[in-house]
């Protein structure tokens, strides 16, 4: 059985006061539901991890550096993230691939550092609108997956998030058929790389404008095991119904 997972990416939103949302979310969760991960901004990681203890909510970071340590002013290492009590880290989010010019090679190195620190890497891949319109989506996905995923991925170390860039923060969502096509393709690519058993065990998330209103439809896809949620994860009142829809899927 693959684990179902709902991850919330708060991006650069929230100060300490926002952590009250964790209490509200924890109160709304049932014990045996999907794995829930909240990825707050880095300065909140330690406090979030302390607050989330015993709630069933895990904490994740939004990025880590590709080197173990050293003269990288302003960056944070995977080991530092683990030291806060966080257990996950997002790597290769399209906003970082774009604004920080991160390559597949960088993302792969970050994922490897995350693994080395005992974190689960949520590795993001997804096509731009131009790629989609030129019918290049599956080629882009294949290239990103091949380049961003270190060897020997397992269900414990790795979650893959398919996030079409044109759907992030835009309110535009692919059709269910488009989501199914890409998720089935990712599963098949993983199977070629890792073997069928390992590929079947890895959790695949869809991300891009997931809301309480569309979550149940998206979770109908067999190879969608959860969601990476941006805007709708900031408030527990929005995120909790998405988690409920995942639990019911």
Q: Catalogue the active-site residues.
A: 93, 163
Whole-angstrom Cα distance, residue 1 to residue 4?
9
| Rounded Cα distance, 76 and 123, in Å | 17
Could you give the 3-state DSSP secondary structure of residue 122?
Answer: strand
Handedness of CA 179, 185, 188, 193 (dihedral sign): negative
207 binds ligand PEP (CB under 6 A): yes
Residue 69 beta carbon to ligand PEP: minimum distance, rounded to whole angstroms? 28
What is the closest distance, in whole angstroms, from the C-beta atom of residue 231 to ligand PEP in the complex?
4
- Is residue 9 within the footprint of ligand PEP (CB under 6 A)? yes
φ/ψ of 159, rounded to 5, equals: -125, 140
- In which residue are the tokens 């270190």 written? 150
163 three-state secondary structure: coil
| Contact letters for ligand PEP, residues 154-183 (x by CB under 6 A) | ---------x----xx--------------
Give the C-alpha distances (Å, rounded to integers) separating 101 from 69, 92, 104, 149.
21, 10, 10, 17
Q: Segment 54-83, which members bind ligand PEP (CB under 6 A)?
A: none
Binding marks (x or -) toward ligand PEP, 208..247, rule CB under 6 A?
Answer: xxx-----------------xxxxx---------------
Query: Residue 207 Cβ, how far from ligand PEP at the closest point, in Å?
Result: 4
**How many residues belong to the site for ligand PEP (CB under 6 A)?**
13
Within 111-150, the residues that bind ligand PEP by CB under 6 A are none
Kindly state the DSSP code that residue 19 receives in the 8-state scheme.
G
**Angle formed at CA 88 by CA 83 and CA 94, multiple of 5 degrees:** 125
Residue with the shortest CB distance to ligand PEP: 230
Does 8 contact ligand PEP by CB under 6 A? no
Closer residue to ligand PEP in complex, CB, 50/213: 213
Residue 234's φ and ψ, nearest 5 degrees, are: -70, -30
For ligand PEP, give the closer residue by CB, 60 or 230. 230
Q: Which residues bind ligand PEP (CB under 6 A)?
A: 9, 163, 168-169, 207-210, 228-232
């Amino acid at each position: 059985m693959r684990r179902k997972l709902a991850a919330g990416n708060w991006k650069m939103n929230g100060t300490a006061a926002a952590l009250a949302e964790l209490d509200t979310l924890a109160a709304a969760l049932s014990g045996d539901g999907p794995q829930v991960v909240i990825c707050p901004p880095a300065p909140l990681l330690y406090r979030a991890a302390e607050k989330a203890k015993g709630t069933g909510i895990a904490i994740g970071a939004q990025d880590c550096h590709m080197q173990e340590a050293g003269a990288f002013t302003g960056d944070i290492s995977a080991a530092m993230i683990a030291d806060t009590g966080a257990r996950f880290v997002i790597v290769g989010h399209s906003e970082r691939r774009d604004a920080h010019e991160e390559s597949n090679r960088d993302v792969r190195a970050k994922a490897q550092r995350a693994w080395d620190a005992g974190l689960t890497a949520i590795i993001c891949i997804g096509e731009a609108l131009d790629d989609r319109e030129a019918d290049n989506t599956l080629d882009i996905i294949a290239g990103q997956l091949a380049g961003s995923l270190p060897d020997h991925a397992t269900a414990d170390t790795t979650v893959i998030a398919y996030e079409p860039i044109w759907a992030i923060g835009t309110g535009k969502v692919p059709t269910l058929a488009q989501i199914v096509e890409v998720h089935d393709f990712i599963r098949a690519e993983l199977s070629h790389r890792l073997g069928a058993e390992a590929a079947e065990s890895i959790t695949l998330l869809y991300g891009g404008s997931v809301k309480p209103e569309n979550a149940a439809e998206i979770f109908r896809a067999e190879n969608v095991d959860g969601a990476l949620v941006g805007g709708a994860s900031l408030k527990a009142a929005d995120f909790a119904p998405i988690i409920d829809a995942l639990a019911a899927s």
